[in-house]
Amino acid sequence: MKYITKFDAIPKLNGSWQFLDVYSYEGMIPGQLLYSICHHGIIKKIHFPDGYDLSEFTMVSAKDIPGKNIVPEPECDQPYMADKEVFHFGQVIMGIAHPNRKLLREFISNTSIEYEELPAITDIKECLDNEKNAFGRELTIDHRTGKNPDPNWVHHHGIYYTPHQEQAYLEPQGMIAVWKLAEREMFVRANAQCPFFVKEGVEAIMGDSINEAIIETSEGIGGAFGGKEDFPSLLAGITSLLSYKSGKPVKIVLDRSDDIQITTKRHPARIEINSWTNPETKKIMKIDIDYRLDAGAYQTLSPIVLARGVLHAISGYSIPDAFIRGRLFRSNTPSNGAFRGFGAPQAFAAMEAHIDDIAANLKINSYNFRKINLFKIGDEFPTTQPIIENNLSDCLERVIEKANYLNKLEEFKEWNKTHKDKKGIGISIGYHGGGYTGNGEKVLNSEVKVVIEKDAIVKIFVANTDMGQGAHTTLAQMFFEAIDHPCEKCRIQLPNTSKTPNSGPTVASRTIYIIGNLLRKFALKIKDELGFENLEEYVKSHQNEFPREFRMNFVQDPSVVFDDENYVGVAYKDYSWAACVTEIYFHADTYQIELTKSWNVMDIGKVVNQKIATGQAEGGILQGLAYGLCEFFYKPGYGRMHGFTDYALPTTMDLPDVDVEFIHTDSMVAKGLGEIPMDFPAPSIRNAFYNATGIFINEYPMIPERILSHIQKNKD
């Protein structure tokens, strides 16, 4: 567990590494999207403004697409551009380019579209409460015993709602496409997480009009958090079409307001839970969970998000009789997509609130109630996968100790008897399966490549991108530490689909867990194959063998057997575990929750780089706390905002001191880290407020307006 300074730190600080909007190509022109401001309707006519020479503009619409007008996705149902009917605000209708950026913006802002408006669903609850809006495949995990609940068991019912969440990455979505006529190649400079996804997207829209699409990321990618997983395929496709038609390089970089209004966000959720608990043993004996996601207008990535949400819906509790049903619901809003946690934060937000409600009703503190019901060795997930470690329990015990939870529980109880303002303390737990679900990694068959040069410099080629999380530093570190090679002689190369094998996307907490561990094995395999003790000395004495290329594929552990149809078996080989305690101070006059401290204990296995891991954890925890405290779209009905003056991102004044500790770091396996810090913090705020006030709120985030509304309801 060493600290290696991020390789990209200095280049980004001194500007020698470029972010996408800095790149320039000879003759490049700016492009922009013309999108619908109608939620649902038939396009009657597009009215271009007077006073412009239309011949100066390059315009593309659905009729110009030489390939298929469907973005490749897990569910291929979203067009690149609408043809006759629009199904959501923000649906792209045209791509337009012009040499003058200012004139282009004026032209698009003055272009109007005439619609025949049709009924639309834009409100989250209107979408999720109505069974008629369900669409797509239903997922179920059926672990029922077939027995009716004992009449003495205590029944609890709750419906929990979570909102959209904006990724708020530093750098908005952007693409540059360069049509190379002589080679009939489309080169795309991508601000994206998944270069091979973008490649597939560009080749789908361009069809036989090109020989190949080559995708290379920019040197700097200013954040993503899942938001640059699927939308870049659509954006790259339209940018490429503009470059093809104009014959010039085209750059599209979304304004922040457009980015917030039209790109993918976290899925809003409605999660209904019915549980039955034995009042004597305090053991939850039976549970039914109805997990619903608002997919937006199209399914796209949503079936995969739904799958992970369903697989995490039970939280970390062993319940002998469980049934979990997962469904997607359609609304006339932009398609929702990937976001750090990928369906799990919604699941934990519901279940962790439900656990505190049961505990309060049974008059047992929530820590002791969790101890009774928590996963232990010998238990199993609802998929029948056995629990093989007590690491979740270890996380909970350690965080309770660090936070001095039991003493504060009594201390705050006494304080609250005599003070208008209230103090509260709340617990939440979480876990996250590493890598693709079930057989996904087997199907993906990730490949990595290494080239060792004559000077013993090791070039590592992986498709996984570094979006600021330090992945390329940590991946290189896992390789060079395995064979004790100098760190300055080992580098991850910039992902390029013509040079880099497909090691899979930068998603699903798989970069370090799957690719990093693969690189460690690869390094040892190369060492064994060549028979060296010191690579530099070996290369020096065997110059005729170098440069030399090596390749290796990921091989799934044979113990991972999963039935994709029935959702039975090993969904993920390894899990990261976490527990959290958050302390709050509730201001009774302003109905505001002040976060005072957050303690977090995680088991992510072997920690490769302590500072990078801690930074990842702290960032995810703060993002999760913001999800629980203040982040959502304010407008009623269709709620997308125009910028960060509207969207309530927390400032440093709103966020607490965050304590992070990793345990079980002596593990041989580096497990997933990227997503789990986002999974669990939000319900700890809700539970702390419940502890402080006794007011049970079933919606997130915990904003003053919502708190006031519930207090008034309680008075009535």
DSSP one-letter string for 447-467:
EEEEEE-TT--EEEE-S---S
Whole-prediction pTM value? 0.96
Kindly state whether residue 372 falls inside one of the protein's structural domains.
yes
533 and 676: one domain?
no
Q: Are residues 538 and 620 in the same domain?
A: no
pLDDT of residue 287: 98
Supply the pLDDT for residue 636: 64
Domain boundary pick from 234, 262, 290: 262
Q: Which residues form the domain of 639? A: 341-436+568-715
In a domain, 462, yes or no: yes
How many CA atoms, within 13 angstroms, populate the side-chain half-sphere of residue 278?
Answer: 11
- The residue from 239, 262, 285 where one domain ends is 262
Count of residues for the chain? Answer: 716
pLDDT score for 50 = 96
DSSP-derived letter for residue 511 is I
Identify whether residues 487 and 545 lie together within a single domain.
Answer: yes
Q: Alpha helix (H) ranges present in 247-325? A: 256-262, 302-311
Give the three-class secondary structure for 568. Answer: strand
Domain count, the chain: 3
103 and 218: one domain? yes
Q: What pLDDT, on the 0 to 100 scale, is given for residue 95?
A: 98
Of 244, 39, 59, the C-alpha closest to 121 is: 39
Q: Does a structural domain hold residue 692?
A: yes
Helices (H) and strands (E) in the chain, counts: 19, 25
Mean pLDDT by 10 residues, the chain (716 residues): 82 92 97 97 97 97 98 98 97 98 97 97 96 97 95 98 96 98 98 98 98 97 97 98 98 96 97 98 98 98 98 97 98 97 98 98 97 97 97 98 98 97 98 96 96 98 97 97 96 98 97 98 98 97 98 94 94 98 98 98 97 96 97 74 84 92 96 97 98 97 95 79
605-628 per-residue burial string, b: 16 or more CB within 10 A, e: under 16: bbbbbeebbbbbbbbbbbbbbbbb
Q: Are residues 627 and 710 in the same domain?
A: yes
Same domain, 492 and 522: yes
DSSP for residue 573: S
Whether residue 506 is found in the same domain as residue 592: no
Q: Are residues 536 and 606 in the same domain?
A: no
C-alpha to C-alpha distance for 554 and 480, rounded to whole angstroms: 19
Contact 349, 683 (CB under 8 A): yes
92 and 223 together in one domain: yes
C-beta of residue 374 within 8 angstroms of C-beta of residue 315: no
CATH number of 37's domain: 3.30.365.10
**Among residues 223, 245, 262, which one ends one of the domains?**
262
Query: How far is the C-alpha of 571 from the C-alpha of 435, rounded, in Å?
Result: 10
In this structure, is residue 687 part of a structural domain?
Answer: yes
695: in domain? yes
What's the confidence (pLDDT) of residue 637?
64
DSSP 372-418: HHB--TT-B-TTSPBP---HHHHHHHHHHHHHTHHHHHHHHHHHHHH
The answer to whether residue 309 is domain-embedded is no
Is residue 180 a part of any domain in this protein? yes
